[in-house]
Structure 1
Amino acid sequence: MTRPELRADLTAALAAAVVLTGVQGFAPALPLMRVQLGLSDLEISLLIVGYLLPGALCAFPIGIVADRAGLARTVSGALIVFGICGVLAYFWHDLGSLLAIRAVQGAMFGGVLALTIIATGAAGDTQRITSAQSRRVVIMTCAEGVAPLAAGIVLVNLSWNSVFLLQAVALPVAVLCCRMLPKSVPGARRRVSTAEIVRASRRAVFSFAGAAVQAPGFLRFFLKYALLTFVPLLAATTYGLDPLEIGVMLALASLAGACMAAAAPWFARGTSVGTLLGISLTLTALPIVLVPVAGPVGVLALLVVLTGAGDGLLAVVNNVVVTRLAPGDGKAAFIGLTGGIRSAGKLSAPLVAGLLAEAIPLGLTLASLGVLGLTAIAVVPTIARLLDGVDDAP
């Protein structure tokens, strides 16, 4: 790997980490916002859903822009809009203004997350992509821990709306992306029309093989967000854990995920991507199936840590799969559409799990979702065959 390639990979990972300030760096301010602005539970949820939904819907069109206008230019522009929105929210923070600002921010968030996948090692072979995606996942996992901490420090020492200024960090990162990221989408074969980009990316997604490629990513985020929403409730109501103990358990799961993501390049040296995909799906979903029979709280914590480890490995392997199988025409649009499908998993998880929890106990609800996650193993042979047909030359 050359130094410019490494700098590009690290810059892309930094860009992805920075936009996490819109969720992880925003969540600690919600209790204060509720008091200061007199918001209801529904209005608080709108601030989150109104951020994630545009991200799901706009990642595809932003990917088309990147295919046409260039990768570095598009990522930089999205980061500039994201950072400016953070500054605007500091000054205009009534509910209506915040909803509008966060909708624009969320759209940029979805675009940046998707485009930084294709910007990370995308022009290399499988080993190179695995190493690059491993670094990206580790950096983002660390950012998921640092962003709430930074927000907490700001909230303790400054006004509650000062937390929005953390998002202005995207502005200098935008300049860095303009200089360090590839000007065009890596591996793209030729400049094509918008219609051709849309057709190629849709064909790559809306087919049996395309659906097989998308299933692990959708289910990964579906399980992750269901776990983050309902495991704390289960731990508190069934096991009597306090918030600090729950936080420690989830932090250990994140740490396990980061360690597995860091080890992914080592695993990939002697194991095929298809095999790693099957292992990571099993490690992510099977512990959730076992939650109802966990018994002692230590066993519950172990299961949560194991599924966190599986999620870290799955994050890397799934990014390798979609990067290797992205069509030559409309690569960024394909990754954008992939990002939208993953975001659908984030949005649907709390709703589906909540409806199930109304009918059956919480432990059985999580186990049912784990069984659903295990069904994704059925698509692994299809994905393995598709990968076998891809030339592994850079």
Structure 2
Amino acid sequence: MGQIIETDSRATPTDGPTETVPWRSRTVQIVLISTALAPLGVPLISPALPVFRDVFGITDAEASLLVSTYFLVGIVLSPFIGILADRIGRKRVLVAGLLAFGVLGGAMAIAPTFEALLALRVAQGTAAAAIFITTVTIVGDEFDGAQRNAVLGANVAVLSATAALFPVLGGALAGIAWNAPFLAYLAAIPIAVFAQVALDEPHRVAGGRGFTYLTDAARSIVTPPLLALFAVAFVTEFLLFGVIFTAMPFVLATAFAPVLIGVVILASETASTVVAASSGRLARHLSNEWTIAFGFACYAVGFAAAWAASGLLTTVGAVVVIGVGVGLLMPVVDAAVSERVTTEYMAGAMSLRNSTTFLGRTTGPIVFVGLAVSAGFGYESLLLASSFVAIVATGVAVVAGPVRLARRGAHPTSM
């Protein structure tokens, strides 16, 4: 086992209630700015996929590889990135990830062939995974209790807000030139410099290298409660990307113009942003278990309402409920994982969470398209089926949460 050398204690606010976000903290600023870059990965370039197809003379399926390969590499390499962050420090991995993200993204603007563009994209996915893992790990290291929920909620709120805005930016840049969207990635370079100068490395681990460290990390991370939380992360993303980003656009395309489909997705993202920003206040009144149950309950109601919706307003109402579920679920998973893992293996735990998140994002669209088209179920029936899945998940959370709390006499915000 390694020895933890702490150069700074967990951050505590100097004023205001503990469920508030310490906006003046350099750590919080760096985490949120770094997180804001994340939607540059997919939402920024998604509107430009037809442009890339035409420029390089490739098929739709080949163009879509710019999305799928970006997530696939994160599934595989996230655990190794987490181990690296636990061994050499979060700051080094974050700064390196930001630099690589910016340099590789900018290099795509001068890629001579689609093969070169795809290779750069795969490498950039690795850098993105480093950013995802280290930002939430730093929050887990630095904050406790309701304030941790608050900062993680702000993190998800930033992610949702930029994910709603960047498709517009990407489409506008693609209208200027096919490679203009890639220049936006260069913004990561000054952020890396800011992180290098302003971010402290509060936790360093020494000793316990090699196989011993890997064994201890696996024993600490692979436990039933954490595996259950990873399952929650997977189901959350699997249903979100399968329903909102895959099934719903195809269902709405029969009656609405693309701009209205964008409005529907924007409504969902807006709801998740607002609710996630309130995560710290919610943590004072609800345990993580009950928050997960309410999140899946929102999924169940929202999916069923989307299946029954007959017009634009009812559809928007349905996706708003789904967005509330996203805002409840995403911050609380990271908070609950942080509660259960020591600082020494925090990045390893977050890397596995990142792998399960990316796995859900990758498989959700594939499964939904396969069942709807190849198996002939249709997208509408999948909306109703998703509601039943969410009902089951809600029931499991309702039953498991109080039992777990009773066994441990846990604090209301623990899991």
TM-score (norm 1): 0.91
Which one of the candidate residues 119, 143, 157 is aligned to 1:124?
143
Residues 1:259 and 2:274 aligned together: yes
Matched with 1:14 is: 33
Aligned with 2:242 (options 226, 229, 235): 226
**RMSD over aligned Cα atoms:** 2.5
> Is it true that 1:96 corresponds to 2:112 in the alignment?
no
User: 1:347 corresponds to which residue?
Assistant: 362
Tell me what 2:299 maps to: 284
Verify: 1:199 aligned to 2:221, yes or no. no
Question: Contact 2:304–2:383 at 8 Å: present in 1 too?
Answer: yes
Aligned to 2:19: none
Deviates more, 1:329-338 or 1:288-297: 288-297
CA contact (8 A) 1:221 1:345 kept: yes
Using the alignment, how far apart are the partners of 1:119 and 1:162 within structure 2?
32
| CA shift for structure 1 position 194 | 4.1
Q: Establish whether residue 162 from structure 1 lines up as the match of residue 180 from structure 2.
A: yes
Residues 5-14 or 29-38, more deviating: 5-14
Using a 3 Å threshold, how does the CA distance of structure 1 residues 28 and 310 change in structure 2: closer, same or farther? same
Deviations 1:7-61 (A, max 9, x none): 2022112112213212111212212111111110121121111111011211111
Q: Which amino acid aligns with 2:303?
A: I
Q: Where does residue 109 of structure 1 map in the other structure? A: 128
Say if 1:222 and 1:173 are closer, same or farther in 2 by CA, change over 3 A: same
- Cα distance, 1:215 vs structure 2: 1.4
Aligned to 1:142: 161
Q: CA deviation at 1:81?
A: 1.0
Q: Does 1:369 align with 2:367?
A: no
CA contact (8 A) 2:287 2:412 kept: no
Q: Does 1:216 align with 2:235?
A: no
Are residues 305 and 293 of structure 1, via their aligned partners in 2, closer, same or farther at CA, if it must alter by over 3 Å? Answer: same
Q: Using the TM superposition, give the Cα deviation of residue 211 of structure 1 relative to its aligned residue in structure 2, in angstroms.
A: 2.0
Q: 1:286 offset after TM fit, Å? A: 2.9
Question: For residues 397 and 228 of structure 2, what CA distance do their matches in structure 1 show?
Answer: 5
Cα distance 1:128–1:121, how it changes in 2: closer, same or farther (>3 A)?
A: farther
CA contact (8 A) 1:72 1:178 kept: yes
| Alignment check: 8 A CA contact 1:81 1:105 kept | yes
The code of the aligned residue for 1:114 comes to: I
Counterpart mapping for 1:41-120 below 5 A: 41-120=60-139
Over residues 45-99 of structure 1, what are the superposed CA-to-partner deviations in whole Å (9 max), with x where a residue is unaligned?
2111111101121111111111111111110001111111012211124111011
How far apart are 1:322 and its partner, in Å? 1.5
The match for 2:318 is 303
Q: CA shift at 1:373, angstroms?
A: 3.0
Structure 1 stretch 273-282 or stretch 325-334: which is displaced more?
325-334
Q: Displacement, 1:347?
A: 0.8
More helix by share: 1
Shift of 1:203: 3.3
The alpha-carbon deviation at position 290 of structure 1 amounts to 3.9
Name the aligned partner's letter for residue 150 of structure 2.
S
Q: Which amino acid letter does the alignment assign opposite residue 212 of structure 1?
A: A
Q: 3-state SS of the aligned residue for 1:333?
A: helix
Taking the aligned partners of 1:142 and 1:249, their CA distance within structure 2 comes to: 14
Q: What is the one-letter code of the residue matched to 1:64?
A: I
2:347 to 311, 329, 332: 332
Which residue identity is paired with 1:247?
G
Aligned-pair identity (%): 24
Once residues 25 and 355 of structure 1 are traced to their aligned partners in structure 2, the CA distance between those partners, rounded to angstroms, is 25
Residues 203 and 210 in structure 1, CA contact (< 8 A), matched pair in contact too: no
Which residue of 2 is the match for residue 235 of structure 1?
252
User: CA separation of 1:245/1:392 partners in 2, compared to 1, >3 Å: closer, same or farther?
Assistant: closer
2:28 is paired with a residue whose SS is helix
The structural deviation recorded for 1:264 is 1.8
> Over residues 348-394 of structure 1, what are the superposed CA-to-partner deviations in whole Å (9 max), with x where a residue is unaligned?
1112112221332321112212322333331465466378558989x
In structure 2, do the counterparts of structure 1 residues 347 and 47 end up closer, same or farther at CA, with 3 Å as the change threshold? same
Equivalence for 1:28 = 47
Could you tell me how far apart the structure 2 residues matched to 1:120 and 1:5 are?
15
Which stretch of the first structure deviates more once superposed, 289-298 or 8-17? Answer: 289-298
Q: Show the 5 A alignment for 1:265-276.
A: 265-276=280-291
Alignment TM-score, normalising by the size of structure 2: 0.86
* Uncovered stretches (5+) of structure 2, i.e. residues with no partner: 1-12, 15-21
Cα distance in 2 for partners of 1:321, 1:84 equals 34
* Aligned residue type for 2:234: F
Taking the aligned partners of 1:392 and 1:279, their CA distance within structure 2 comes to 14
- One-letter amino acid of the structure 1 residue matched with residue 193 of structure 2: V
1:174 to 192, 196, 214: 192
Partner of 2:10: none
Sort the Cα spacing of 1:222 and 1:182 in 2 relative to 1 into closer, same or farther, 3 A.
farther
